Amino acid sequence: MSKLRVATTSLAGCFGCHMSFLDIDERLLDLLELVEFDRSPITDIKHCGPCDLGIIEGGVCNAENVHVLREFRKNCKILVAIGACAVNGGLPAQRNHLELHDILTAVYQTEGGLAHGVHIPNDPELPLPLNKVHPIHEVVKVDYFLPGCPPSGDAIWKFLTDLIAGRTPHLGHGLLHYD
Amino acid sequence: MRMSQCSMGSIMNVNEVITATLARHGNDGTRLMQILRETQEALGWLAPETLTAIAEGVGWPRAKVEGTAAFYSFFHLRPRGRYCVLWSDNITDRMLGNRELMQALCEKLWLEPGRLSEDGLVSVNTTSCTGMCDQGPAVLVNYRAITRMDMARVEQMAELIRSETPLDQWPAEWFKVEDNIRRKDALLDHGLVPGQALAAGMARGPQGLIDEIKASGLRGRGGAGFSTGMKWAFCREAKGEAHYVVCNADEGEPGTFKDRVLLTSYADLVFEGMTLAGYAIGAQKGLMYLRGEYRYMQDALESVLARRRSERLLGARILDKDFDFDIEIHFGAGAYVCGEESALIESLEGKPGRPRIRPPFPVTNGYLDQPTAVNNVETLAAACLVAHHGGAWYAQLGTEKSAGTKLLSVSGDVERPGIYEYPFGVTVQQVLDDAGARGCVQGVQISGPSGVTLSADELGRRICFEDIPTAGAFMVFDCTRDMFEVARNFAHFFAHESCGFCTPCRVGTQVVARLMDKLATNHGSPYDIDEMFKMHRLMQGASHCGLGNSACNPLFDTLNKFRPAYERRLKSLDYEPAFDLDAALSEARQMTGRDDAGAHLQNVE
Amino acid sequence: MSEQHTFQLDGEEIPFAAGQTIMQAAQAAGKYIPHLCWHPEFKPHGSCKLCTVKVNGRFGSSCTMEASAGQNVENRTPELDDKRRTLLQLLFVEGNHFCPSCEKSGNCLLQATAYELGMMTPHFDHFYPDRPVDASHPDVMLDFNRCILCSLCVQASELADKKFVFVMGGRGMRGRKIILNSESGRLADTDFSVEDRAASICPVGVILKKRVGFAVPYGERTYDQAPVSAVEVAK
């Protein structure tokens, strides 16, 4: 059987889920027998091509997140949301109770300690933030969800080995966590 | 000097108002609904300190009083305008142009719907169907009903509000509510004089009367169709310190207005039916729960009650027999769910209208936990016919399992909207012909949003318990109407009226309304239609009461019978977000002043 | 009459005493029926609908439905667990349930029940409602973002504490909420005490005692050690 091609990325997340992914430790070698990586922090490939599996950490908080998420959805047969932020918005979504206008004003204009002449960044290179942060399933169709903040290495291992083997992933007691 | 109704409180002593209102109701917490309503009528709104004073007055925890006040749409816990204009927002009002009229009124008054004007003068908003579908668009101004709104009236109303003209000086014809009775049958042509049915019923003795009601085959006219004779028998047999008759006049099902007409022109018959019920079950007290939208009827109804007392048809020793019975009118305050009998009883006891866990049923544990017969207005009126003519006579009207006649409230695309009475078994087509259905009929909504949506190939079906049971609403939609918008209107109605007690209905009705809006704003995909079916399957089995169980009926029916009306709105066959991605960058664009390509998102890539 | 006082729960004979609900009988027999608003100390509320079962083919709330001889009760079937998962998802998107920062995490009945039913995602679009936090009381704080409207605090305050500190009021998803028994609406202005039964009844992270959060480390909390299906029937 040929290896599955896998892409991973982090949107509005902290890369904690990727760190937890590395916590599968020596099982990473077993995994590499089964998969090869496309776009991922592991390969430093900048855009993903056709893949079997796409794994997304983080929610959608700005325009760039939308572009990346769409690129993954377009190229990946199976799309997985990994971690609290991708699944329900997580920590970045805590700003949803505030108006973006108020947030930008507070951070760049009224907060104490700002250098003279600071303004809200308007460089076209920078992605604009969305009015609200969204879990990824509110923007594209997502096939599987692996919650946790982050999910443990064991949970990720179980989830991926199930998925790669063609089984619907099932996490029993102790592996399924939202925190 | 400002003398509009709502500002009276500012010149009267607030505490005196509260004390006097409490005294009128004997400081009885179970009368909280009436205390709150009367206090608000005097003071304009229910301020935090007002609720504290009322709680102390009735000896209830303050939070309980606030809990009730917060439940009902017509109670205001924040200052409301001296003029509070509420547009009835049933689909029939919309078809008559209420949205455009409301928008025009708002523009003339320089305000947004739902917002109180800065000077505290006026607020304009929508409310659930006010029961004037045959003479809409309708509004409530400070909870007084106004019918047949049009652009000329909107212009004049804006002037009257701006000049703070008291409601009493508004054109009297605005407040005129027509009966629009178009077809009479056994009930509306009853030919009885007050007391005649009562005398006949009492001559049969309580058990004899119940036997006649049983023999008549009379079934509840609220839609569920439980045998009235059985209900009275169970209630009579139930043990309790007192028995109660409750008349359910909370006619809240959008599109229904027959009880309004019965109470306007046949009040004697309804009260006499209540009295007969009291005699049959052994009650001394009857309570009529009238929806707050019909508050304007109070004086007329009270005078009928007073006359009946003077005629010894109510009060002590009725018709000189050993039977005491009297009737009291209670008003609701804008909560559809109170049409459910156990929620209605909760409301009568001064609580939020939350349907009870059943069993036990009201016939054994009803008002104040006592045996209670809750009957629909029309059922009680029909009971008079049985008492007078006997069960056998009544049973031969209608069909085998649906004895008698039914009042239909016909509205929508017909030449002659109004009240039509037919023996059970009449076909939908017959009603449409009689009412003058205009052009081609696309659909008919029977029994309101919780009922069934019929398509044009089902017009041969019959109104009866064997085929289509109904509480009376009959809304007609011609081929120019958008059946998706009909269902969307209903979805928002249920989301607004869900009591919030159980999870499936509380959150489910909101999810459904949001899905319908998603399709309406062209963000939908087939995925969303699957979601609607999923919500239907969940809510139909798992909800606590009929509201949640039937909330997806119009969705389910229209999805099956008018599917293209949904499908032509779909944006794509793939999953689509519910929101506009480019619009979601609007605040950031505004704050940064950017408008370059990177500052935009294509909604479909 | 020597009637058999048993009913069938997922094919097993469950004995019951007259007047017991299906939930009570199942609990006594060590059988778990998922629930959130039911608590053995208080009368059934019947609002969360997690305990929905099928009795002789019809849906009903097992916490309010009396057991009767010969009933055929379906409980942990794929159909019912699927409905329960959907109900949980509705609860998760209705409020703001952000487990990573919640000190109830690991001891939360909502979370543990969602684990039990394998809820991997809240599925629906979030409502992200604006709900208040009340930190006015010296010993207890209230974070209504996590309220699932189960009414257990209402019952505990009324029936156990005789106080009416909490009352359920308002209507619908946007209106229904816990109302505090003070004109200011602040907990500090009620007669609430950290000693009240109501202070320790909340199944989720709304009513939290101050200065004792995060005392038990990750891995050793109630539902880290055993799933809710085991913990609840041992109560």
Residue whose C-alpha is closest to residue B288's, from B306, B309, B304, B274? B274
Angle, vertex CA B186, rays to CA B328 and CA B133, nearest 5: 65
Angle, vertex CA B268, rays to CA B263 and CA B272, nearest 5: 115
What's the order of all strands across the beta sheet hosting B452-455?
Answer: B181-183, B418-423, B405-412, B473-478, B441-446, B452-455
Question: Are residue B189 and residue B320 in the same domain, yes or no?
Answer: yes
Distance, CA of B270 to CA of B276 (rounded, Å): 10
Shortest Cα distance, chain C CAs vs residue A98, angstroms: 9
CATH number at residue B282: 3.40.50.11540
- Identify all chain B residues contacting C34, using CB atoms and an 8 Å cutoff: none
Q: What average pLDDT does range C107-130 have in this prediction?
A: 97
Residue B389 lies in a domain: yes
Q: Kindly tell me if the per-residue pLDDT of B1 is higher than 50.
A: no
Judged by CB atoms closer than 8 Å, whether chains meet at A131 and B589 is answered as no
Interface test with B, best of A67, A128, A139 (most B CBs within 10 A): A128
Provide CB contacts within 8 A for C231, sequence distance 6+.
C112, C222, C223
Shortest Cα distance, chain B CAs vs residue A96, angstroms: 12
Q: What pLDDT, on a 0 to 100 scale, did the predictor assign at position C126?
A: 95
Residue B227 lies in a domain: yes
Tell me the HSE value of A44 on the side-chain side, using a 13 A CA sphere.
0
Strand pairing partners for A68?
Answer: none
Q: What's the start-to-end Cα distance of chain B, in Å?
A: 63
Q: What average pLDDT does range B381-390 have in this prediction?
A: 98
Q: What average pLDDT does range C39-48 have in this prediction?
A: 96
Indicate the number of domains in chain B: 5
The boundaries of the domain holding residue B436 are 405-481
Confidence of residue B5 (pLDDT cuts 50, 70, 90): very low
Q: What pLDDT, on a 0 to 100 scale, did the predictor assign at position C234?
A: 83
Residue whose C-alpha is closest to residue C73's, from C83, C60, C64, C86? C60
Peptide bond just before B360 cis, omega within 30 deg: yes
Answer for the pair B390, B212: CB distance below 8 angstroms, yes or no: yes
Residue B573 lies in a domain: no
CA-CA-CA-CA dihedral for B219, B220, B226, B232, to nearest 10: -90
Which tokens in the block code for residue B26? Answer: 């004997």
Question: Are residue B205 and residue B335 in the same domain, yes or no?
Answer: yes
Token look-up 């039911």 returns C38
Tell me the HSE value of B330 on the side-chain side, using a 13 A CA sphere.
28
- Identify all chain C residues contacting B498, using CB atoms and an 8 Å cutoff: 171-173
Which of 38-57 (C) contact B at CB < 8 A? Answer: 44, 46-50, 52
Shortest Cα distance, chain B CAs vs residue C162, angstroms: 11
Residue B596 lies in a domain: no
- Where b means 16+ CB within 10 Å and e means fewer, A133-158 reads bbbbbbbbebebbbbbbbbbbebbbb
Question: Are residue B347 and residue B230 in the same domain, yes or no?
Answer: yes
Say if strands C177-180 and B372-376 run parallel, antiparallel, or are unpaired.
Answer: unpaired
Distance, CA of B303 to CA of B267 (rounded, Å): 10
Which tokens in the block code for residue B605? Answer: 């890539």
Residue B577 lies in a domain: no
Chains A, B: CB contacts within 8 A come to 60
Question: Are residue B20 and residue B106 in the same domain, yes or no?
Answer: no
SS (H, E, C) chain C: CCCCCEEEECCEEEECCCCCEHHHHHHHCCCCCCCCCCCCCCCCCCCCCCCEEEECCEEEECCCCECCCCCEEECCCHHHHHHHHHHHHHHHHHCCCCHHHCCCCCCCHHHHHHHHCCCCCCCCCCCCCCCCEECCCCCEEEEHHHCCCCCHHHHHHHHHCCCCCEEEECCHHHHCEEEECCCCCCHHHCCCCCCCHHHHCCCCCCEEECCCCCCCCCCCCHHHHCCHHHHHHCC
Which tokens in the block code for residue B581? Answer: 């991605």
Shortest Cα distance, chain C CAs vs residue B174, angstroms: 32
CATH number at residue B554: 1.20.1440.230
Q: What average pLDDT does range B216-230 have in this prediction?
A: 95
Q: How many CB atoms lie within 10 A of CB B166?
A: 12
The rounded mean pLDDT for chain C is: 96
Cα–Cα distances in angstroms (integers) from residue B185 to residues B57, B188, C201, in the given order: 50, 6, 59
Q: Which domains does chain A have, with CATH numbers?
A: 4-95+131-165 (3.40.50.700)
Shortest Cα distance, chain B CAs vs residue C121, angstroms: 15
Question: Are residue B438 and residue B526 in the same domain, yes or no?
Answer: no
Q: Which domains does chain C have, with CATH numbers?
A: 6-76 (3.10.20.740), 84-227 (3.30.70.20)
Residue B153 lies in a domain: yes
pLDDT tens, residue by residue, B370-381 = 999 999 999 999
Q: Is B135 exposed, middle or buried (0-12, 13-18, 19+ CB in 10 A)?
A: buried
Distance, CA of C62 to CA of C26 (rounded, Å): 9
Peptide bond just before A50 cis, omega within 30 deg: no
Judged by CB atoms closer than 8 Å, whether chains meet at C126 and A179 is answered as no
Question: Are residue B375 and residue B494 in the same domain, yes or no?
Answer: no
Q: What pLDDT, on a 0 to 100 scale, did the predictor assign at position B6?
A: 45
In percent, the amount of chain B with pLDDT more than 70 equals 98
Question: Are residue B64 and residue B142 in the same domain, yes or no?
Answer: no
Q: What average pLDDT does range B444-457 have in this prediction?
A: 97
Domain ends where: B370, B395, B420?
A: B395
What DSSP string runs through B360-398? SPTTTS-GGGS-EEEEEHHHHHHHHHHHHH-HHHHHTSB
Q: Is the dihedral of CA B50, B52, B57, B61 positive or negative?
A: positive
Domain ends where: B125, B152, B178?
A: B178
Residue B194 lies in a domain: yes
Question: Are residue B199 and residue B286 in the same domain, yes or no?
Answer: yes
Residue B587 lies in a domain: no
pLDDT tens, residue by residue, A103-147 = 999 999 888 888 888 889 999 999 999 999 999 999 999 999 999
ipTM for the complex shown: 0.97
Distance, CA of B414 to CA of B255 (rounded, Å): 14
Domain ends where: B447, B481, B515?
A: B481
pLDDT tens, residue by residue, B543-572 = 999 999 999 999 999 999 999 999 999 998
Q: Kindly tell me if the per-residue pLDDT of B280 is higher than 90.
A: yes
Peptide bond just before B577 cis, omega within 30 deg: no
Answer for the pair C152, C206: CB distance below 8 angstroms, yes or no: no
> Phi, psi (5° rounding) for residue C26?
-65, -45
Question: Are residue B242 and residue B371 in the same domain, yes or no?
Answer: yes
Q: What pLDDT, on a 0 to 100 scale, did the predictor assign at position A2?
A: 86
Distance, CA of B247 to CA of B339 (rounded, Å): 11
Q: Which amino acid is at B456?
A: A
- Identify all chain A residues contacting C115, using CB atoms and an 8 Å cutoff: 173, 176-177
Q: What pLDDT, on a 0 to 100 scale, did the predictor assign at position A118?
A: 86
Answer for the pair C182, C189: CB distance below 8 angstroms, yes or no: yes
Question: Are residue B499 and residue B437 in the same domain, yes or no?
Answer: no
Token look-up 């949001």 returns B514
SS3 category, B357: coil
- Chain B residue with minimum CA distance to A139: B577
Chains that touch C (3 or more CB pairs under 8 A): A, B
Distance, CA of B64 to CA of A177 (rounded, Å): 38
Question: Are residue B384 and residue B414 in the same domain, yes or no?
Answer: no
Which of 146-205 (C) contact A at CB < 8 A? Answer: none
Q: Which amino acid is at B123?
A: S
Question: Are residue B322 and residue B252 in the same domain, yes or no?
Answer: yes
Distance, CA of A143 to CA of A51 (rounded, Å): 14
pLDDT tens, residue by residue, B249-273 = 999 999 999 999 999 999 999 999 9
